[in-house]
Amino acid sequence: MDNEAMQTPFYDPASVAGKAPPVDESTDLLIVGAGPAGIAAALEAAGRGVSVTLVDENPVPLDTMGEDVPLHFGGRMGAVAGNANAMLEAMLDARPELGDALEAGVDVKLGTAVWGLFPHGPASAWMDTHVAGLADASRTWLIAFKQVIVASGRRDMGLAFEGWQRPGVMGASAAWRLAVLYGALDARRAVLVGSDTDALNIAVDLMARGVRILAVIEQSDAIVGDAALASQLEAGGARLLTRHVVRHARGDAYGVTSVEAASPHADTSVTFECDTVLLGIAALPAIELLEAAGCATTFDAARGGHVANVDAMQRTSLPFAYAAGDCAGVWASKSRDDGVAREEGRRAARSALDAPGVCGTARVTQPDAPAHDIAASRVAWVRASVLGAAGEPFVCQCEEVTAREILDVRPPRYLDWHPADAAHDTRGVAGLALSGPPNPDAVKRLTRACMGPCQGRRCREQVAALLAIGSGCALPRIPLATFRAPVRPLALRQLADVAEASSTGPHWDSWFGMASQWVPFWRVDPLYRAGTRQNGEPVASE
């Protein structure tokens, strides 16, 4: 270092030290999700001398629904879904306890998505608190919190077959939300794919609301869910087809018009004239916020698959975070009785507030014993439907990646890559498995599967099942593909709304691979301002 540098105070203006972004709001307890668990947690915490903020992304904007986020809505939103005021009114009617929360002093934010949790820790020591990113229809901002309860619910497993990209192919949970929470499900005649108890429950609810269930299609040898629910659907006119999968979902520009179900074991098929296909293969805990924040997870068949590790008081591996409701586990009796989720929410709130006499005395409702091997079932569905498809449907619709391209670990097709003339490692999934279970993150980077606007919500579990098939590994051994903030798609104009520290702007170029990053900080032009640089004007290092 020369004399000039030695005489300069050792301060790097391009570092993040002391440059925490402005935080617009703060709360003691942040609760994500205003379902049964989240509302119960808010009511439990209200009036205990702490500030409580309850956030729920519903009503979800119509354009976000069109991207199949947060659920696979499949284009079956009625026109009323575009009326934000009507949807807000419908939501308040469906969940009257939200009024009780408001009266109890809870700060309720509806139509607001939490797109990231950013804990204070060694990797973010420049922030002096835990921060969450929030966004509504008009702005994006940050809120500081001390404790967070995540009650973000569930989502549905996708399943590819010929025509599954058509409007009308949707998740069963998405259909339930549109019908029950919004009163905006545009479906009249539906076929249910999958027959576990959760899926049958939803079908019975939809049938009670005027949707005719024509058939229940199950690839296994028998209906796997509650026999009484299956009988109820059958009495309502539904055919129960076992050892069948959907071969074609045919339709027009407006969506599905018919479904052909066929048996992989025999040359038989049956066609149903319908406008909707309900994917009820599996209900999955929505853990993206927790996993992206660094929470430990595991594959727990009794709780529905990959789920955050929680103890008897709903505590996760993060000392400030708790999980409740379906994001803490999905099982049949919990789906039938929302009292289980409510008790989890209350328990999480008491734990977060460290209520006296609570720890060590909790009685936790244990998950049901799995009625079937959910891992083997998901792999069997993918093998029978995706690999046995009539054509070669895109497993990842956003990036247009097929099952064969995933199994072969082929580069994206827009690179115009051809195996015959490219020097490329073509070991495929089986080759990747030589060094251990293949990681979906590696396959995502190589093929772009799961890298689209829906952020893998429709294809993530299918990719994992394909990796299990291609490698010969059991599905629970396939690592969970990581989530990253923002866990909800945000427009760049929304992210631009997030303010930055005033001292950040002059040196932001050094963080983005620009030329001045190679210049010692003591030689950077102090008058240089990246934000006011004109086109063609040299950067500080030039």
The pLDDT tens digits for 223-246 are 999 999 999 999 999 999 999 999
As a whole number, mean pLDDT of residues 366-388 equals 92
Cα atoms in the Cβ-side hemisphere of radius 13 Å centred on 465: 28
Q: Are strands 140-150 and 130-135 parallel, antiparallel or unpaired?
A: antiparallel
Q: What is the pLDDT of residues 135-166, one digit of tens each?
A: 998 889 999 999 999 999 999 999 999 999 99
Cα angle: 167, vertex 168, 172; to 5 degrees:
130
The residue among 371, 380, 384 whose CA lies nearest residue 230 is 371
Residue 253 has a pLDDT of 87
What pLDDT score does 291 carry? Answer: 96
Closest-CA residue to 296 (of 284, 283, 311): 311
pLDDT given at position 359: 43
Res 372: pLDDT: 87
Tell me the pLDDT of the chain averaged across its residues: 88
Mean pLDDT of the 433-461 span = 92
- pLDDT of residue 20 exceeding 80, the answer is no
pLDDT tier, 526 (very low <50, low <70, confident <90, very high otherwise):
low
Mean pLDDT of 390-404: 94
pLDDT, tens only, 243-273: 999 999 999 989 999 999 999 877 889 999 9
Distance of CA 64 to CAs 72, 290, 453, Å? 11, 21, 10
CB atoms within 10 A of CB 441: 13
Contact 193, 278 (CB under 8 A): yes
Judge contact between 261 and 194, C-beta under 8 A.
no
Predicted pLDDT at 12: 65
Specify the pLDDT at position 360.
43
DSSP character string of 432-453: HGGGSSPPHHHHHHHH-TT-ST
Cα four-point dihedral sign 156, 68, 482, 132: negative
Q: Evaluate whether 305 touches 331 at the Cβ level (below 8 Å).
A: no
CB 110 within 8 A of CB 59: yes
**Which comes out higher in pLDDT, residue 64 or 357?**
64
Residue 510, pLDDT score: 59
% of the chain with per-residue pLDDT over 70: 85
Report the distance separating Cα 353 and Cα 289, nearest Å. 21
pLDDT higher for 329 or 129? 329
Cα pseudo-dihedral 288, 289, 295, 300, rounded to 10? -40
Q: Averaged over 169-191, what is the pLDDT?
A: 97
pLDDT band at 97 (very low <50, low <70, confident <90, very high): very high
Q: Is the per-residue pLDDT at 329 higher than 60?
A: yes
CA distance 466 to 410: 14
C-alpha separations of 31 from 88, 217, 260, 317, 522 in Å: 19, 37, 44, 17, 45
Domains along the chain with CATH numbers = 25-154+284-352 (3.50.50.60), 158-281 (3.50.50.60), 504-542 (no CATH)
The predicted model gives 168-175 an average pLDDT of 98
Q: Which of 283, 277, 284 is nearest to 307 (CA)?
A: 284
Q: What share of the chain in percent tops pLDDT 90?
A: 72
Residue 280 has pLDDT above 80, yes or no: yes
Q: How confident is the model at residue 149, as a pLDDT?
A: 98
pLDDT of 362 strictly over 80: no
Residue 447 pLDDT exceeds 80: yes
Q: What span, in angstroms and rounded, lies between the C-alpha atoms of 329 and 340?
A: 11
CA–CA gap between residue 191 and residue 172 (Å, rounded): 10
Other CB atoms within 10 A of residue 4 CB: 10
Entry pTM: 0.89
Q: Tokens in use for 332?
A: 């049949």
